């Protein structure tokens, strides 16, 4: 009798512990995803549409943001867990708030064959066929100080000073109208709107991989895990999230055409233009090149475009 009475609570305890453990493992983890409607946001779109987040136990809500400033602020305020944003915005907010969001991997802009994701476009090749022809012209550029720094420095490299041309900052949705109306003579454009413009013969490229005129692999933006999410979750959860994003890289490399189709749900791009869109050359988390990011930081800081010369190591998952 005593023996049975003693065994019962022990058995009950084991059942309880086993049951509690299984329940905990089966619970989904809330994941709030912030994205920008640009081609560089594709890894997040794929992770959602291919079910990779769900497979890893994440319950996802997605939110569209109009700018890197807005999505990074939301992440800093603890409202977003994983997101795409311009790197300079991350570094400035990281310095100001000491919430240093963690790098998953870059969205590199380069001259890599088949992965050119930005262009310098000319409305009229008879008037502007090379960079040197931009003297006295009006150039459209993506909003933000980084785009301005790169454009100014590239043109200076070709002997054109900032007082010899006019810049107009405008969002991608304004680019086509600006070219057609003559508001701008040339445009620094990124995918997928760049391909829309080229394929519809509104403007043509005079430089493919324009940002890479200044440095070979430009980490203009990246995929990030928010500081708060990295602090409140254990290494197992963070590893799962990294594995999801690495799985996306494999998918893009083996299924580029299928990967592009996921753009259309989040970014306006027509069926006729989609095959011509080139994707950033994403590489897995373990292939991050901190020295490339540090060179980017140093370049921007040397032009007073960053509040502080940040150390990229503070933005890496430990």
Q: Which pLDDT tens digit goes with each residue over 252-311?
A: 999 999 999 999 999 989 999 999 999 999 999 999 999 999 999 999 999 888 999 999
- Distance from C-alpha of 156 to C-alpha of 269, rounded to nearest angstrom: 33
Axis crossing angle, helix 145-157 with helix 290-302, rounded to the nearest 10: 80
Which residues have a Cβ under 8 Å from the Cβ of 301 and sit 6 or more positions away?
A: 308, 309
- Distance from C-alpha of 121 to C-alpha of 133, rounded to nearest angstrom: 12
- Distance from C-alpha of 128 to C-alpha of 204, rounded to nearest angstrom: 10
For the cut 80, the answer to whether the pLDDT of residue 150 exceeds it is yes
What pLDDT score was predicted for residue 146?
85
Cβ neighbours of 166 (radius 10 Å)? 12
- Distance from C-alpha of 279 to C-alpha of 276, rounded to nearest angstrom: 10
Which residues have a Cβ under 8 Å from the Cβ of 292 and sit 6 or more positions away?
A: 106, 217, 219
- How far, in Å, are 66, 271, 283, 297 from residue 102 at the CA level? 21, 35, 16, 15
- Distance from C-alpha of 117 to C-alpha of 220, rounded to nearest angstrom: 11
Span 175-204, average pLDDT: 97
Which residues have a Cβ under 8 Å from the Cβ of 281 and sit 6 or more positions away?
A: 108, 110, 112, 115
For the cut 90, the answer to whether the pLDDT of residue 143 exceeds it is no
Q: How far apart are the first and last CA of the chain?
A: 55
The phi, psi pair for 274, rounded to 5°, reads -50, -45
What pLDDT score was predicted for residue 26?
55
What pLDDT score was predicted for residue 27?
78
The phi, psi pair for 108, rounded to 5°, reads -75, 140
Q: In DSSP terms, which residues pair with 102 in a beta bridge?
A: 225
Please answer whether residues 230 and 317 qualify as being in contact, where contact means their C-beta atoms are separated by less than 8 angstroms: yes
What pLDDT score was predicted for residue 91?
98
Exposure of 101 in the CB half-sphere (CA atoms within 13 A): 33
Please answer whether residues 115 and 209 qualify as being in contact, where contact means their C-beta atoms are separated by less than 8 angstroms: no
- Distance from C-alpha of 41 to C-alpha of 39, rounded to nearest angstrom: 5
Task: Write down the mean pLDDT value for the chain.
Answer: 91
Q: Domains (ranges, CATH) in the chain?
A: 29-110+218-315 (3.40.190.10), 118-208 (3.40.190.10)
- Whole-model pTM over 0.75: yes
């Amino acid at each position: 009798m005593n023996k049975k009475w003693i065994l019962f609570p022990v058995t009950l305890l084991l059942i309880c512990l086993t049951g509690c453990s299984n329940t905990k493992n089966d619970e989904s983890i809330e994941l709030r995803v912030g994205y920008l409607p640009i081609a560089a946001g594709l890894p997040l779109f794929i992770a959602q549409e291919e079910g990779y987040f769900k497979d890893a136990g994440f319950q996802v809500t997605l939110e569209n943001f109009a700018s890197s400033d807005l999505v990074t602020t939301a992440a800093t305020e603890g409202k977003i867990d994983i997101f795409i944003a311009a790197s300079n915005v991350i570094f400035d907010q990281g310095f100001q708030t000491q919430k240093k969001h963690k790098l998953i991997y870059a969205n590199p802009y380069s001259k890599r064959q088949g992965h050119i994701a930005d262009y310098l476009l000319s409305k009229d090749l008879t008037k502007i066929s090379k960079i040197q022809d931009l003297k006295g012209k009006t150039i459209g550029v993506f909003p933000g100080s980084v785009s301005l720094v790169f454009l100014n420095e590239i043109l200076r490299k070709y002997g054109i000073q900032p007082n010899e041309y006019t810049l107009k900052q405008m969002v991608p949705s304004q680019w086509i109208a600006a070219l057609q109306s003559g508001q701008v003579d040339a445009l620094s454009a990124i995918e997928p709107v760049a391909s829309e413009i080229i394929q519809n013969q509104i403007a043509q490229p005079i430089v493919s991989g324009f940002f890479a005129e200044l440095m070979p692999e430009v980490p203009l933006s990246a995929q990030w895990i928010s500081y708060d999410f990295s602090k409140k979750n254990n290494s197992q959860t963070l590893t799962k999230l990294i594995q999801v994003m690495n799985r996306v890289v494999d998918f893009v490399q083996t299924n580029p055409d299928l990967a592009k189709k996921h753009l259309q749900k989040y970014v306006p791009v027509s069926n006729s233009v989609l095959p011509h869109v080139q994707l950033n050359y994403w590489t897995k988390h373990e292939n991050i090149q901190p020295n490339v990011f540090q060179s980017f930081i140093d370049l921007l800081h040397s032009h007073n475009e960053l509040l502080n010369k940040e150390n990229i190591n503070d933005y890496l998952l430990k």
